[in-house]
Amino acid sequence: MAPPITFPSLVPMAMLIIAFLALCLIPQPAQAITRHYEFNITMQNMTRLCHTKSIVTVNGKFPGPRIVTREGDRLLIKVTNHVPNNITLHWHGVRQLRNGWADGPAYITQCPIQTGQTYVYNYTIVGQRGTLWWHAHISWLRSTVYGPLIILPKENVSYPFVKPYKEVPIILGEWFNADPEAIISQALQTGGGPNVSDAYTINGLPGPLYNCSAKDTFKLKVKPGKTYLLRMINAALNDELFFSIANHTLTVVEADALYIKPFDTETLLVTPGQTTNVLLKTKSEYPDATFLMSARPYVTGQGTFDNSTVAGILEYESPTLHSTKSVKKIPLFKPVLPPLNDTAFAANFSKRFRSLANSQFPANVPQNVDKRFFFTVGLGTNPCDKNQTCQGPNGTKFAASINNVSFVQPTIALLQSHFSGQSKGVYSPYFPVNPLNWFNYTGNPPNNTMVTNGTKVLVLPFNTSVELIMQDTSLLGAESHPLHLHGFNFFVVGQGFGNFDPNKDPAKFNLIDPVERNTIGVPSGGWVAIRFLADNPGVWFMHCHLEVHTSWGLKMAWLVLDGKLPNQKLIPPPSDLPQC
């Protein structure tokens, strides 16, 4: 008799299958991926204001291509230079932890990519999400070489605000009919102020308020009753910009890729270098009207400026596809922007920004300070070269400085000379921690406006907690200066007008929920106080993001030394790092 056929019990097997399926249904940790981009630097003919010229671009596009990534992802961006100019690219606001080689400012962290050369920017987005941007970081090439860098949260992580129906980058820029490289070259030669731009742009388009530009208008088509996330970026060379959309309120939810406590406003002020995410809630029903979105400058200096207005159009999709009314017949509303010199608006707007400071997004403000620094920022002069007449103040050349040191660009990158231990003759490690000459900074300026010139860095031991007061001066006129710090975010713990008072002002500092950002306006005729932890070894540029002031020397660098542990040290340079 054949032996009975035995089946293994089906119960354990069923349990195994159920367990396996259950495992599959558990959300797996999101996998960070490597994203590859190819950036070819090429000349491209471009026409604006009925004026055609050849401009430097990435991949022939103006503005340049959008980079979209996620927190935790690695980016490999291969940049090949096909133009006569030297080029570098900076990933504005990316912390570049221990990896200054990918930061991009020319002669600070790298030598430029020369004609015919290639360099791969290789970096990982660690602990950051939001709107940043990228731009050329040599001379004035960023006037046309820029684009959005959008970092989405990790998979399955939501925004701390209502999920938008759609996300739209809005980049404010400047257009010059002349070649910006020729403009700054001539200004540095004559010592005078450079010629100003011919138009402002929204996503590269000047819009209907300029001659010959109605066809070059940015249009944002929206549906009623929806929420749109506008990712605002100010990529203008030399102008802080007010921005508003007629008859619409904007809710600010993020600054420089850091979430903030939401607040409503009719008008934004965005300095060059800053990014601001806002929610636009459209009207619940079709409004039978169109609305201008406009930007124009906030001006504090005494020099000439581009006093024009860029406009785009917010257009609601009509409920009937074949509407009998043409767009021309429905009313067009225009926003009311603050006066050009509205410093009170600028100060009040800046004070409204506060960190979320909750358990998910804490504000880790340094409570104890290891080192305190006081920097004056402002304009000044250099003597005219012999046998030359100069167009700066009283026959001098315009200059700009921090603590009266106007930065002289080296011919070898600072980070390379630091890493190789060959810094002698390249830079001095003795940047002044206070002004060498004290005066009434915001009162009547002294007669002597001359600056000193040098390549100096300020050395910080790893993990130093820093408090920095930046004080505007009235030398050649008080002026707002948007200061950008590479390699770090910082907390804006205080700001005010007049001269900083070390005895009274610190008592008013906000150490609980100050805004955290990478670029902040030093108020015109005032001061700002920031704190940051120097936990990122390397050489990190700090400069005014008004390009003309950077060209004049309003810049310096921090040298953060290695820590003791392996993960506290600057990594070695990549093999393809450009040489000078």
Instruction: Map tokens 């917010």 to a residue.
Output: 314
Helices (H), 314-362: 343-351
At 98, the amino acid letter reads R
Instruction: Please indicate whether residue 386 or residue 485 has the higher confidence score (pLDDT).
Output: 485
One-letter amino acid identity for 541? F
Query: Which two three-digit tokens encode residue 415?
Result: 């980070």
Q: Which of 396, 140, 159, 170 is nearest to 274 (CA)?
A: 170
The pLDDT value given to residue 6? 41
What are the b/e assignments for 62-74, b being 16+ CB within 10 Å? bbbbebebbbbbe
User: What does the chain come to in residues?
Assistant: 580
Strand partners, 377: 402, 472
3-state per-residue secondary structure call for 2-71:
CCCCCCCCHHHHHHHHHHHHHHHHCCCCCCCCEEEEEEEEEEEEEEECCEEEEEEEECCECCCCCEEEEC
pLDDT at residue 11 is higher than 90: no
pLDDT tens-digit readout, 511-525: 999 999 999 999 999
- Summarised one tens digit per residue, pLDDT across range 194-249 is 999 999 999 999 999 999 999 999 999 999 999 999 999 999 999 999 999 999 99
Q: For residue 169, give both structure tokens.
A: 């980058």
Task: Give the strand order in the sheet containing 516-517.
Answer: 452-454, 405-407, 397-402, 371-382, 464-472, 526-534, 490-497, 516-517
What digits encode the pLDDT tens for the residues 284-333? 999 999 999 999 999 999 889 999 999 999 999 988 765 545 556 899 99
163: DSSP letter: P
The answer to whether the Cα torsion of 367, 368, 373, 374 is positive or negative is positive
Whole-number Å distance between alpha carbons of 380 and 450: 6
pLDDT band at 29 (very low <50, low <70, confident <90, very high): low
Q: Whose CA is closest to 285, among 318, 333, 314, 248?
A: 318
Q: How far apart are CA 504 and CA 7, in angstroms?
A: 86
* pLDDT at residue 86 is higher than 70: yes
DSSP 8-class letter at 388 = -
Sequence-ordered alpha helix ranges (H) in 479-580: 547-552
Decide if pLDDT at 335 tops 90: yes
Summarize pLDDT for 464-476 with one digit per residue, the tens.
999 999 999 999 9
| 410-461 per-position pLDDT tens digit | 999 999 999 999 999 999 999 999 999 899 999 999 999 999 999 999 999 9
> pLDDT by residue (tens digit) across 45-80?
999 999 999 999 999 999 999 999 999 999 999 999
Distance of CA 260 to the CA centre of its chain: 17
pTM of the entire predicted model: 0.94
Helix (H) or strand (E) holding 239: none
pLDDT digit string (tens) for 525-567? 999 999 999 999 999 999 999 999 999 999 999 999 999 999 9
Closest by Cα among 77, 104, 31, 94 to 539? 104
Residues 141-199: tens digit of each pLDDT: 999 999 999 999 999 999 999 999 999 999 999 999 999 999 999 999 999 999 999 99
Q: How far is Cα 483 from Cα 274, in angstroms, rounded to an integer?
A: 10
Angstrom distance (rounded) from CA 382 to CA 362: 45
Per-residue pLDDT tens over the stretch 248-261: 999 999 999 999 99
Is the CB of residue 15 less than 8 Å from the CB of residue 55?
Answer: no
Residue 186: Cβ within 10 Å count = 14
Question: What does the pLDDT read at residue 14?
Answer: 45
Helices of type H across 89-218 = 180-190
Q: How confident is the model at residue 30 (pLDDT cuts 50, 70, 90)?
A: low
Q: pLDDT, tens digit, for every residue of 108-150?
A: 999 999 999 999 999 999 999 999 999 999 999 999 999 999 9
AA letter at 347: A
Helix (H) or strand (E) holding 111, with range, is: none
Report residue 546 CA to chain centroid gap: 11
For the chain, helix (H) and strand (E) counts, in that order, are 5, 33
pLDDT score of 31: 84
Instruction: Write down the mean pLDDT value for the chain.
Output: 94
Does residue 113 contact residue 143 with C-beta atoms inside 8 Å? Answer: no
The span from the CA of 446 to the CA of 76, in Å, is 51
Q: Residue 501 in 3-state DSSP? A: coil
Q: Of 86, 93, 79, nearest to 36 (Cα)?
A: 79
Burial class (CB within 10 angstroms; exposed 0-12, middle 13-18, buried 19+) of 559: buried
